[in-house]
Amino acid sequence: MSGARSFVRIWRWPLLLAALTCFGLLAALLGGGGLWWPLAWLALGIPLATIAFGVCGARRTKA
Amino acid sequence: MTRSGFRKWIWLHKWSSLICTAFLLVICLTGLPLIFQDEIGDYFDDALPYAAVPAGTPAVSIDSVVAASRAMFPKEAVLFVFVDDDEPKIVVTMAPSWQAWAANRKSSHWIRFDAHTGKVLKASKPFNQDGIRFLDVMLRLHRDLFADLPGELFLGTMGLLFVIAIVSGAIVYSPFMRRLDFATVRTDRSRRTRWLDLHNLLGVVTLAWLLVVGLTGVINELSTPLFALWQRTDVKAMLAPLQGAPVPSANELSSPQAALETAKAAAPDMVATSIIFPGSPFGSPYHYLIWTKGHDTLTSRLFSPILVNARDGTLTARVTMPWYLRALEVSRPLHFGDYGGLPLKIIWALLDLVTIVVLGSGLYLWLSRRALPFRRSGSESRIARSAIVTAPAE
């Protein structure tokens, strides 16, 4: 744990995940099927994977 | 952010969340099966199977299906006919009359026909005699808590509070993360600290999705007043020239199949999905109202009505929908998550479960607040204080 983080440092991951979410939501809606659907699933799956990563990391630290 | 600014946002986050949490939990829990309503509905469907027919077999005429329905229920009126573009089925909905239906929606019932053979596949009973369906209960709890329009507006308000809670939660996220790396979950401190970190992580990661589903949910709750507004403005203006003209009786109606063909010719780029018979409170007493939609993922959710004179079968108008109903139509798929195959629905369900954890952990953080001064370690209070104090003034 070091000194205070800047606004950019605090928000870079949340904003990237928000951008991925918006991309995923719109890709499935406007993409017209094809490759856009798997891309949407991937983009929306990354925030979920981040949660899994955070929760698993917490479990490991505890053990 | 100044200390007093932070306190104001925390106050807003706390109260907006506390008021809506119980209702949001009901919405999240009932929303879970609703994500898969097509799959669940198909699984429990006991209708006869579709006839196996050679490819390219044409659909039967709507006229014959309507005639068969009238023969089955000679005292009743046909309300609307739904023509599926996905499966070979035509569904005719009937009731004693439009007035009876307007007074009590449950008075209607439907007959499902095989579009290739015209054979009856399934007929429902009126007045919920088929029993109350699980999915209907989930939908009513999700949409209006069995309280119709007041319930819709109430849950819409709860949704708005949820959106305020998300925004204020995002604003107070920064001070909390001043001295923490992203996705840190401190497990070496109190249980409350662990849940605070999880609440922050789960909330911020799903921020965009929560906002989209929250806002589109609020818009969906406004569908009744929005359609009523359209009815009272555009539709009323459209029907004004016919004001006072005699309303066609059932035996004066022109062919619904011909009306469908007329609509298809007027909008060759669209798919016609249903024919609303004259007399609907959401239509016209003088016209068949034919709902058409586009072909793409998005345009198949955008419906445009075509009016065909129900007496002589001539085309009256291809209606342009107002912007607020277009916004409502776009908000539907973004709320339902039903536009990207089964994997998207599974993602929706997982995000819904995450939302339940965010709501539950938020409630836990509030309930355990009194224990805080006694349980919190010295370093933790220092961090909490410094998080507030070191936050820059904005």
| pLDDT score of B114 | 96
Contact B254, B240 (CB under 8 A): no
Give B114's strand partners.
Answer: B89
- The number of residues making up chain B comes to 394
Tokens of B155: 């849950």
| pLDDT score of B246 | 84
Cα–Cα distance for residue pair B36/A45, rounded to 1 Å: 18
Pick from B279, B388, B310: nearest CA to B1: B388
Cα–Cα distance for residue pair B214/B161, rounded to 1 Å: 9
Query: Considering only CB atoms, which chain A residues are within 8 Å of B354?
Result: 48, 51
Whether the CB of A30 is below 8 Å from some CB of chain B: the reply is yes
| pLDDT score of A35 | 94
Fill in the DSSP letter of residue B286.
S
Chain A nearest-CA residue for B330: A29
For residue B220, the Cα-to-chain-centroid distance in whole angstroms is: 6
Cα–Cα distance for residue pair B274/B284, rounded to 1 Å: 15
Cα–Cα distance for residue pair A38/B131, rounded to 1 Å: 39
Q: What is the 3-state secondary structure (H, E, C) of A15-42?
A: HHHHHHHHHHHHHHHHCCCCCHHHHHHH
Query: Considering only CB atoms, which chain B residues are within 8 Å of A2?
Result: 179
Whether the CB of A51 is below 8 Å from some CB of chain B: the reply is yes
Tokens of B198: 């999880």
pLDDT per residue rounded down to tens, chain B (394 residues): 788 999 999 999 999 999 999 999 999 999 999 999 999 988 888 889 999 998 889 999 999 999 999 999 999 999 999 999 889 999 999 999 999 998 988 899 999 999 999 999 999 888 667 777 899 999 999 999 999 999 999 999 999 999 999 999 999 999 999 999 999 999 889 999 999 999 999 999 999 999 999 999 999 999 999 999 998 998 888 888 888 888 888 889 999 999 999 999 999 999 999 999 999 888 889 999 999 999 999 999 999 999 999 999 999 999 999 999 999 999 999 999 999 999 999 999 999 999 999 999 999 999 998 654 444 444 444 445 444 444 433 3
Whether the CB of A39 is below 8 Å from some CB of chain B: the reply is no
Give Cα separations from B237 to B44, B179, B231, B234 (angstroms).
44, 62, 9, 5
Fill in the DSSP letter of residue B299.
G
Tell me: ipTM over 0.95. Answer: no
Contact A30, B220 (CB under 8 A): no
Contact B202 A40 (CB under 8 A): no
Q: What is the CA radius of gyration of chain A?
A: 15
Pairing of strands B77-83, B271-276: antiparallel
Cα–Cα distance for residue pair B354/B358, rounded to 1 Å: 6
Cα–Cα distance for residue pair B80/B273, rounded to 1 Å: 11
Fill in the DSSP letter of residue A5.
P
Whether the CB of A48 is below 8 Å from some CB of chain B: the reply is yes
Contact A30 B177 (CB under 8 A): no
Tokens of B254: 């022109």
The CA-to-CA distance between both ends of chain A, in Å, stands at 20
Chain B nearest-CA residue for A53: B183
Query: Considering only CB atoms, which chain B residues are within 8 Å of A33?
Result: 297
| pLDDT score of B370 | 65
Order of strands across the sheet with B109-114?
A: B120-123, B109-114, B89-95, B77-83, B271-276, B287-293, B303-309, B315-318
| pLDDT score of B378 | 47
Residue in this structure with the two tokens 């085309």, named with its chain if needed: B315
Contact B253, B298 (CB under 8 A): no
| Pick from A5, A22, A53: CB nearest B208 | A22
With a CB cutoff of 8 Å and minimum separation 6, the contacts of B76 are B70, B94, B95, B96, B97
Chain B nearest-CA residue for A45: B347
Contact B340 A11 (CB under 8 A): no
